[in-house]
Every structure is written in structure tokens, then in C-alpha cells.
């Protein structure tokens, strides 16, 4: 923190708003988006997973995950933060992080730590033990999310290399997407996969949740400017353009291939556009956002089919195809569309598109490998302790009653 740093009321007001928006993305946005996509006898379990993860992540962030992610880094600690801010010791209302109170920065980043493991929920719906969700999510936050967050945003080794990830293409989407695919593979598919899966029980609920995600994502991306300035406004504009473009692209592909454009399809395209623009949102202009959304709609659309039908992994709600692929794609495209010649905000002095692309590739691959290897170890630990999968008869009954003793609908 610079000695002459001053509190900005405007910046503080905007990040307060952004923090609420990002939490709104998970509760209720992501919960409703995922809840509508499962069978009626599993809807409450999805809502429970999202809500419980939000509570767990908040407590762990307070205890030590914030310190691990944003403790002193740089050359001395390129891999993980320190311990000086465990239990948020030394952080008070007068402690600044740039032009905003550090307490606000803690809370803003906490909402990212909440939604990232919640994204993984979509990979294991309808067949996982609730205890496994909690143990996996807690360990994953400590050993996957915290180190990667430090590498990219906390002054770690990827930050030193100059990797560009404005709002979480690597930190959020690559980590969650790659871990989700591995967990889905190790957990196994739902009963009847891939031949006889039931359709989403409430596409309307999914659309409502997706709309909340769209609104909340403005806090996610524009809030990552950490200021009420031109960078924030551009991030908001390009976020919207990418989401709309990807939605239309996805719907068009469905119409051309199947003769109908579905509600679930168009909102899934929207999420793909949001995930893909996330790492680029503070670096690219409107033209770049249009092409990023277009490519997101095409690539993520076909990845959904490839994962489920070709390699037959039941990533149930397409976490990897939408978030993992989208986050990686957006991170790589940032190297090109951030260039001033393509309407972006410009690359660092002395940096070419090619050299920046190399840095982006290293960032994506390093985080993907770390996420998969550490997640594998965590999954093995969870399997050996509380166990992963519910019994077959419990899967038929549904997690709402089996795990939580409640019904989503009294019909």
C-alpha cells in the first residue's frame, strides 16, 4: 500500500455494489440456474449445495484462505501468501487496499471464493453425498483456489510473468472447470447416462437464475477494476456484448442443427459468453468482445456434445465445456484482442501479441495441471474418508429426501 494512498468514496461505493452483485450471482443466481436443470426430486439438494458452500467458503476465507491468497507475495513468496493476516488480524476500517478499505477488498474477493467452488456443483448433481460436497469444497479452496489466486492476483509467479487475467478466466473458470471434469469422471455418470437422462425439470427457473448471473456478472467483471473509472465502464460494456453475442450464436447453432432454439440453450450460451469475456474484460474493446462472444458460442456449444457423447463424461451441467473451455479461450484470446491495433486497451510496453500469447498459454496450462493433480488427491481423500457417491436406491429416490429430508414440490 502506497504511503500516500487515499480513500475514494466513489470507488468504495462502486465496489460495495459490486460485492453485493457477485454474491447475488451465487445466491440466488447460480443456485436457481443449476436447480432448474436437474430432476424435480433433486432441486433442493442443488440449492443446498450452493448455499452451504457459500457459508463454508466465507468462514474459511476469514480463517486463513484470504491470507494464503493475498498475503505478501512477490519474489520472496511466489507460490503462496503469508500467515500475517490469518483471522483477518491487522485489518481494520482504516486499513486501505488502494483507494478502498481493505475490509471491502476482503469481502469483494470473498465473493469470488464463494462462487468458484459453487460452479463445480454442476458436475456432480443428483449422485453425490452432501458430506463429500463439504469436505471436497473446503479442501479445494485451501489447496487449489488459494494458491492459484496468489499466483495471478496476489503478486505470485504468474503475476510476475505478466499473465493477463482481469476477472478470473484462469483463477475462477479454468480451476473450477478442470476440477469439475475430473470429479465427474471419478464419480461416474448418473443412472442411465448417456442413454436415458431426464430433461431439466424447470427451464423457467434456469432462465431466471441465468438472468441473475448476467446482472451479477457486471459486479464480477466491472468490479474487478477496483475503481469507479473508465476501465470499469469498458469492462461492463464488453461483458454485455460478449454475453449477448454468445447467446445468439448458441441459439442459431441449435436452430440450424435441430430445427429449434431452446431456452436452456440460449441461456447456456449467455453463460459461456460471460465466462469467456471474464479474463479479457478489462483489456479489450467492443469489437474484441463481439468476436470473443462469437467464438465462445461456437466452441463451448460443440464441447458440450463432445464431452457427453464422444468421451462420455457426465459433467452434468456442462461446467467444463462452458467455464473451463470458455475461461481458457478468453485467456488466450486476450493476448490478441487487448492489442491497441484490434481496439483493445493495449499490451504492456515491449510486449508483442506472440510473447503475450506465450505467457497466457503458460498460465492456462500451469493452472490446469495444478487443479487436476491437486483435485485428484483431494477426491481420493474424500473417497477414503466420507465417501463420494450415494447408493443406487438413494439416487432413484432423489437427494432432496435422502440427504435433506425435504421435498422441493408438494404435488
Write down the pTM of the prediction: 0.96
Count CB neighbours of 56 within 10 A: 18
Q: Residue 289 — pLDDT band, cuts 50, 70, 90?
A: very high
Asked if pLDDT for residue 75 goes beyond 80, the answer is: no
Task: Flag the least confident range among 31-45, 184-198, 221-235, 295-309.
Answer: 184-198
Mean of pLDDT values over 315-339 = 98
For cell 404435488, the residue is 411
For cell 501479441, the residue is 353
What is the C-alpha to C-alpha distance for residues 233 and 227, in angstroms, rounded to an integer?
10
Instruction: Please check whether the domain covering 9-404 is classified as CATH 3.30.300.30.
Output: no
Q: Residue 207 in contact with residue 322, Cβ under 8 Å?
A: no
Cell readout for 49 is: 449445495
Q: Residue 289 in contact with residue 277, Cβ under 8 Å?
A: yes
| Residue 167 main-chain phi, psi, to 5 deg | -135, 10
Mean of pLDDT values over 162-174 = 98
Asked if pLDDT for residue 2 goes beyond 50, the answer is: no
**DSSP codes joined into one string, 245-293:** HHHHHHHHHHHHHHS---HHHHHHHHHHHHHHHGGGTTT--HHHHHHHH
Asked if pLDDT for residue 374 goes beyond 90, the answer is: yes
Residues forming a β-bridge with 100? 97
What is the C-alpha to C-alpha distance for residues 322 and 26, in angstroms, rounded to an integer?
16
Q: What is the pLDDT of the chain when averaged over all its residues? A: 96
Residues 9-37: tens digit of each pLDDT: 999 999 999 999 999 999 999 999 999 99
For cell 505478501, the residue is 72
Q: Residue 138 in contact with residue 53, Cβ under 8 Å?
A: no
Which uninterrupted H or E stretch holds 107?
Answer: helix 102-119
> What is the pLDDT, as a whole number, of residue 3?
46
Q: Residue 383 in contact with residue 354, Cβ under 8 Å?
A: no
Count CB neighbours of 291 within 10 A: 18
Asked if pLDDT for residue 88 goes beyond 80, the answer is: yes
Which uninterrupted H or E stretch holds 97?
Answer: strand 96-97
Residues 294-312: tens digit of each pLDDT: 999 999 999 999 999 999 9
Q: Residue 101 in contact with residue 141, Cβ under 8 Å?
A: no
> What is the pLDDT, as a whole number, of residue 72?
76
The overall longest dimension of the chain from CA atoms, in Å, is 65
Count CB neighbours of 264 within 10 A: 18
| Residue 125 main-chain phi, psi, to 5 deg | -60, 150
> What is the pLDDT, as a whole number, of residue 77?
79
Mean of pLDDT values over 366-370 = 98
What is the C-alpha to C-alpha distance for residues 152 and 79, in angstroms, rounded to an integer?
10
Mean of pLDDT values over 81-105 = 93
CA-closest candidate to residue 323, choices 369, 274, 356: 274
> What is the pLDDT, as a whole number, of residue 197?
80
Sign, Cα dihedral of 238, 241, 244, 248: negative
CA-closest candidate to residue 199, choices 395, 38, 322: 38
Q: What contacts 108, CB < 8 A, 6 or more positions away?
A: 15, 18, 19, 22, 223, 226
For cell 482481469, the residue is 166
For cell 455494489, the residue is 17
For cell 462472444, the residue is 293
Alpha helix stretches (DSSP H) within 120-229 = 121-124, 130-140, 146-153, 157-161, 175-187, 203-222
Q: Residue 76 — pLDDT band, cuts 50, 70, 90?
A: low
In the chain, what are the domain boundaries? Answer: 9-404
Which uninterrupted H or E stretch holds 100?
Answer: strand 100-101
What is the C-alpha to C-alpha distance for residues 104 and 405, in angstroms, rounded to an integer?
37
Q: Residue 190 in contact with residue 41, Cβ under 8 Å?
A: no
Angle at CA 52, nearest 5°, toward 46 and 55? Answer: 145
What is the C-alpha to C-alpha distance for residues 96 and 356, in angstroms, rounded to an integer?
31
> What is the pLDDT, as a whole number, of residue 71?
87
Alpha helix stretches (DSSP H) within 278-338 = 286-305, 319, 325-337
Amino acid at each position: 500500500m502506497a504511503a500516500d494512498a487515499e480513500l475514494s468514496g466513489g470507488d468504495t461505493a462502486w465496489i460495495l455494489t459490486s460485492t453485493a452483485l457477485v454474491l447475488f450471482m451465487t445466491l440466488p443466481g447460480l443456485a436457481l440456474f443449476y436447480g432448474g436443470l436437474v430432476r424435480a426430486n433433486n432441486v433442493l439438494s442443488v440449492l443446498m449445495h450452493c448455499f452451504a458452500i457459500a457459508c463454508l467458503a466465507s468462514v474459511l476465507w476469514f480463517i486463513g484462505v484470504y491470507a494464503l491468497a493475498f498475503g505478501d507475495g512477490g519474489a520472496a513468496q511466489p507460490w503462496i501468501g503469508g500467515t500475517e493476516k490469518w483471522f483477518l488480524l491487522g485489518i481494520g476500517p482504516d486499513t486501505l487496499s488502494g483507494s478502498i478499505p481493505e475490509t471491502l477488498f476482503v469481502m469483494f474477493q470473498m465473493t469470488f471464493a464463494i462462487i468458484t467452488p459453487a460452479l463445480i456443483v454442476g458436475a456432480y448433481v443428483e449422485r453425490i453425498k452432501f458430506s463429500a460436497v463439504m469436505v471436497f469444497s473446503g479442501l479445494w479452496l485451501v489447496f487449489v483456489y488459494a494458491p492459484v489466486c496468489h499466483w495471478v492476483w496476489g503478486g505470485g509467479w504468474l503475476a510476475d510473468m505478466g499473465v493477463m487475467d482481469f476477472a478470473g478466466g484462469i483463477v475462477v473458470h479454468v480451476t473450477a472447470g478442470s476440477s469439475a471434469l475430473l470429479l465427474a469422471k471419478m464419480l461416474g455418470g448418473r443412472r442411465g447416462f448417456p442413454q436415458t437422462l431426464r430433461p431439466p425439470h424447470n427451464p423457467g427457473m434456469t432462465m431466471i437464475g441465468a438472468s441473475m448471473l448476467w446482472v451479477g456478472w457486471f459486479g464480477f467483471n466491472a468490479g474487478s477494476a477496483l475503481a469507479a473509472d473508465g476501465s470499469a465502464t469498458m469492462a461492463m460494456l464488453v461483458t454485455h456484448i460478449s454475453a449477448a453475442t454468445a447467446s445468439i450464436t448458441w441459439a442459431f447453432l441449435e436452430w440450424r442443427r435441430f430445427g429449434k432454439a431452446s431456452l436452456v440453450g440460449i441461456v447456456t450460451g449467455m453463460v459461456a459468453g460471460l465466462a469467456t469475456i471474464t479474463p479479457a474484460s478489462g483489456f479489450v474493446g467492443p469489437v474484441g468482445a463481439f468476436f470473443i462472444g462469437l467464438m465462445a458460442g461456437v466452441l463451448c456449444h460443440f464441447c458440450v456434445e463432445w464431452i457427453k457423447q464422444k468421451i462420455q463424461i457426465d459433467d452434468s451441467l456442462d461446467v467444463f465445456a462452458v467455464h473451463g473451455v470458455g475461461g481458457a479461450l478468453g485467456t488466450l484470446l486476450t493476448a490478441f484482442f487487448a492489442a491497441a491495433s484490434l481496439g483493445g486497451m493495449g499490451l504492456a510496453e515491449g510486449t508483442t501479441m506472440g510473447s503475450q500469447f506465450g505467457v497466457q498459454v503458460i498460465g492456462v496450462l500451469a493452472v490446469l495441471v495444478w487443479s487436476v493433480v491437486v483435485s485428484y488427491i483431494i477426491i481420493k481423500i474424500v473417497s477414503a474418508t466420507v465417501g463420494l457417491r450415494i447408493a443406487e436406491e438413494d439416487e432413484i429416490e432423489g437427494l432432496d429426501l435422502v440427504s435433506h429430508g425435504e421435498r422441493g414440490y408438494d404435488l
